[in-house]
Structure 1
Amino acid sequence: MTLDTNQNRLAGYAILISRFGLSALPNWHTSSVSPTGTLRSTIQDGQVESVYPQSYWPGDGTGDHLEFALKYDGVNLGILSALFDVVPADEITAWISSKPTGKYARKIWFLYEFLTGRELPLPDLTKGNYTPLLEPDHYYTAAPGRRVQRQRVIDNLLGGKDFCPIIRRTEKLAAMEGIDLRKKCEEVVTSYPPELLRRALSYLYNKETKSSFEIEHIKPSASRTEKFIGLLEMAEHKDFCEKPLLIDVQNRIVDPRFRDTDYRANQNYVGQTISYQKQLVHFVCPKPDDLPELMAGLLAAHQVMKDGEVPAIIHAAAISYGFVFMHPFEDGNGRIHRFLIHNILFLRGAIPKGLMFPVSAAMLKNPALYDHSLEAFSSPLMRLVEYDLDDLGQMTVPGETRRLYRYVDMTAQAEALYDFVKLTIENELVEELDFLANYDRTKQAIQEIVDMPDRLIDLFIQLCLQNNGRLSARKRESHFEFLTDDELAAMENAVREGYARD
């Protein structure tokens, strides 16, 4: 449902986008002012539209609507960056000069210089309290932040000029902070015998590896599987968010013919062939010329969040999804994106050392949720990016697009990762450990009926589980013709009882 704004006037970011013809990703909150009525809001697909009473009208000036935007629409660096590129600097300067010690004027002053790299002709402030750039009650911030004497603000952003995600402190994410993820993992694993857990680890590494490849519809060879497992085993031991290490990771997990020695030098995209010489493009990646700055910004933001006590899931979401949105390599970007989730959660102590955390399995089982986490960025982006494809599928992207990837609201991605982590702890870990525990009980019961070699017990259990707890006549004839009818019935019953679900 869209609000009828025929009698309403746009306000905040909405009027600035309209007035200056800005090309920017949409903000999560849109405002207008009505000549009658009271404050009312509608919410659809995470987008909020608010209509304010006439008393909220801020005035007609650019600065007036900038202040309104920061108050009611929130901080959107992409829109601000686009605006500051076209609005006259003297107009911003004059408005700030009219209220130099105002909280919002100081924030706008800082953001103008931060985003443009240009200094306004204003003297440094010499008195007044410091104000946080992002309100910690509403945003995830880097603590304690950097004190900027010029505007007397505390820069607590999650990154710098080259890459700076914004993640809002929604009710869902705030609830996440009350959960000790490491403790929940420990509670799960300590409820099983240590020997069973040691055996489960190899299953979990295999499961995570196969899931990460399967998300991309790839069936890896045995050697590629082993290489990825080896990489996952290294995730808890060092910080991989450095350019040479990321290149090394890429080289380990892709076909040797597609190993990169640097970030990609061509324009790539995510799409699919739907007919001869016809591509359906789902996502246009950043231009190769923009990658060095964007990736340097991503890695710098990682350090800011690592040092700034940002919650582990927020940190992992911003960097891992930021990486896959950059798509810096020819191949392997999705698998590295999921590997970085492991790496950062381990680094931040959210996962106990030595535990494999099969988050890709949760993503694979919930494809709609995973797709939504990607499309929350890609869908609005595709409405803004112009591109051309030649007959060979080579893409060119005209114009400036760097800003679109540099300043992204990643709240949706953080919420999705929280869901995946929760599903991993409550489902994937428990299911794998339960499966092994059930196997041990079933194996013992079968051995008491017929003392068969382990290889045949494994095969019997596997074939029964594939056929609703019963061995087919064909499989019996080809593998288990030596069993009597009574033995077979008892063994099938042992499998059904061993894997019975409440």
Structure 2
Amino acid sequence: MKFDTQHHFSGPVSVFQVSRLPETARPVGYAALIDAFDLQVPLPLILCAIGPKHKVYEQDGWRIYTPRHEPTATLEGHLTFALKYEGLDLLVLKRLFCALAPTDLETIIKAKPNSSYMRRIWFLYEWLLGKKLDIPDAKTGTYAEIVDPKLQCVVKGVTSTRHRVHNNLPGTAAFCPMVRKTKELEQFIEQKLDEQAHAVIGKISSSVLARTAAFLLLKDSKSSYAIEGEAPPQDRIQRWGKAIGEAGKHPLDDAEFRRLQTIVIGKDNRFVKMGLRKEGGFIGEHDRDSRLPLPDHISARHQDLPVLLGGLIAFEHDYANELDPVIAAAILAFGFVYIHPFEDGNGRIHRYLIHHVLSARGFSPAGLVFPVSAAILDRIEDYRHVLESYSARLLPLIEWKPTAKMNIEVLNDTGDFYRYFDATPHAEFLFECVQRTIEHDLPEEAAFLERYDLFRTRVEAIAEMPASMIDLLFNFLKQNQGQLSKRARRTEFSMLTEEEVSAFEALYQELF
């Protein structure tokens, strides 16, 4: 495809596709490229345009730049703007490279062989497409970083002498979500939440800490099932809790994923085909009358699963250790749940992967599980909103038809949608959940157990009774706002005197 470099890009607009701009402005960078080449991609979360004012501002998903930022209305101009101000959107770039003739890129790269932006584009073309452009190896030019570390999260990476660039991408071409360096993420990282967690447990006695850890583990396991709308028997909850407690001990591979699915599903797997899906998959409902699928999210095609899961495993082995642990956990866990490789069990394994990274990196104290699932359950609408921050933008781009089994068959090539996405909202959300567990759940549960121990000791000083009766007494008081009900006083606790009952009620009020 040969295109007109001067007349391919639109002028100022007030509406871009379905997005209204804060003011009439000229789309630039990725927005201009998506429009000019009709790229079928989810729109980036932040789009850029040039407005008439001499002030840069952000509003309604748009960042409006000043006239002095305006690039030349050419392929080179908009690519340079995107790399300079927006960072890398690997999905947009790959779809753009597929839409261009190789000679279109070869021309602009050869015209400016020393340009760091052009050498980065050259590298990204060959890395994303696995094809070489007809350009001799670079001989001059300062080595350039592929990802601008001021804009997005990076790893140490390796050097490419052919392009004279440093490849600091946080993944392989098979799986490489990106995370933008937002103010919120920078603030979370500066808080050093892992150090805060170690400081909190340093103030808790070993006996209370052990019970706190056991309670939080059970709480997380129960919550993970509750998120899925399930209430399984206690043995399944405990079995999954045991698996979470061992998170981080085994590196991820195909066998480990199969093991986790077996634990989630349990012995009765008669109605679930174990292992990677052999057909399409979606999250959603069926129409009550026609039984046709009504998807909210469409999973990766089953044909793409081995490569996608291989890329995800490579990310965990080779790249996750160089990123902030919470950011790495968000990329791995949300990448997995979007791919949705299994018929069942994906949601719980998705949340297990959060524990896996935090534990393997030593972020969560040894023997302690942050009840992230409980934090998610309490913020279930926010959780859904984060999941939909990508899946809702993805859904209109997937072509599918219903199958005879009322499943779906994806008709277009969607693999790249699951390889390259903006995981920034997911990382911010996960940081919020981890912060809550460290600042509230962990100290509050420990404080509760310390108060309960004091309650039990002081009850025993008033009346000798077994631990099980003290538990029952506490639960009755808790259920009735600190008052022992008439029924309890007539039955289980009929032998207590009025003075003892009054003392227990006063004790509960004092401590709880």
Same fold by TM-score, threshold 0.5 exceeded?
Answer: yes
TM-score, length-normalised on structure 2? 0.91
Task: Quote the Cα distance in structure 1 between the aligned partners of 2:204 and 2:22.
Answer: 58
Per-residue CA distance 1:240-267 (angstroms, 9 max, x = gap): x211111111111213315655311121
8 Å Cα contact 1:125/1:150 also seen in 2: yes
Q: Is the aligned partner of 1:82 residue 2:95? A: yes
Per-residue CA distance 1:165-220 (angstroms, 9 max, x = gap): 11011111112222333321121112121111122222122111111111111112
Query: Which of 147, 162, 172 is the equivalent residue of 1:134?
Result: 147
Matches within 5 A, 1:63-462: 63-143=76-156, 145-239=157-251, 241-256=252-267, 257=269, 261-273=274-286, 275-276=288-289, 277=291, 279-307=293-321, 309-389=322-402, 392-462=405-475
Query: Which of 479, 486, 507 is the equivalent residue of 1:473?
Result: 486
Q: Which amino acid aligns with 2:471?
A: D
Look up the match of 1:27: 44
8 Å Cα contact 2:22/2:62 also seen in 1: no
SS in 1 for 2:464: coil
Query: Which of 49, 53, 59 is the equivalent residue of 1:43?
Result: 59
Q: How far off is 1:332 after superposition?
A: 1.0
Q: How far off is 1:391 after superposition?
A: 7.1
Q: How far off is 1:485 after superposition?
A: 2.5
Task: Quote the Cα distance in structure 2 between the aligned partners of 1:356 and 1:404.
Answer: 32
8 Å Cα contact 2:293/2:407 also seen in 1: no
Per-residue CA distance 1:250-301 (angstroms, 9 max, x = gap): 1112133156553111211111356342654211111101111111111112
Runs of 4+, deviation exceeding 6 Å:
none
SS in 1 for 2:159: strand
Worse overlay, 345-354 or 270-279: 270-279
Q: How far off is 1:408 after superposition?
A: 0.6
Question: Structure 2 stretches of 5 or more lacking a match?
Answer: 1-18
Matches within 5 A, 1:472-491: 472-491=485-504
8 Å Cα contact 1:251/1:260 also seen in 2: no
Task: Quote the Cα distance in structure 2 between the aligned partners of 1:337 and 1:424.
Answer: 18
Q: How far off is 1:51 after superposition?
A: 4.0
SS in 1 for 2:367: coil
Look up the match of 2:8: none
**RMSD of aligned C-alpha atoms?**
1.9
Per-residue CA distance 1:25-55 (angstroms, 9 max, x = gap): 2113322234x432443323xx2331431x4
SS in 1 for 2:137: coil
CA 1:227–1:234 in structure 2 vs 1: closer, same or farther (change >3 Å)? same
Per-residue CA distance 1:329-355 (angstroms, 9 max, x = gap): 111111111111111111111122112
Task: Quote the Cα distance in structure 1 between the aligned partners of 2:287 and 2:478.
Answer: 38
8 Å Cα contact 1:236/1:353 also seen in 2: no
Q: Which amino acid aligns with 2:170?
A: L
Task: Quote the Cα distance in structure 2 between the aligned partners of 1:226 and 1:57.
Answer: 59
8 Å Cα contact 1:142/1:304 also seen in 2: no
Worse overlay, 57-66 or 420-429: 57-66
Worse overlay, 369-378 or 118-127: 369-378
SS in 2 for 1:50: strand
Per-residue CA distance 1:397-428 (angstroms, 9 max, x = gap): 21111111110110111111111110010111
Question: Structure 1 stretches of 5 or more lacking a match?
Answer: none
SS in 1 for 2:57: strand
Task: Quote the Cα distance in structure 2 between the aligned partners of 1:439 and 1:274.
Answer: 50
Q: How far off is 1:306 after superposition?
A: 3.5
Q: How far off is 1:115 after superposition?
A: 1.0
CA 1:203–1:169 in structure 2 vs 1: closer, same or farther (change >3 Å)? same
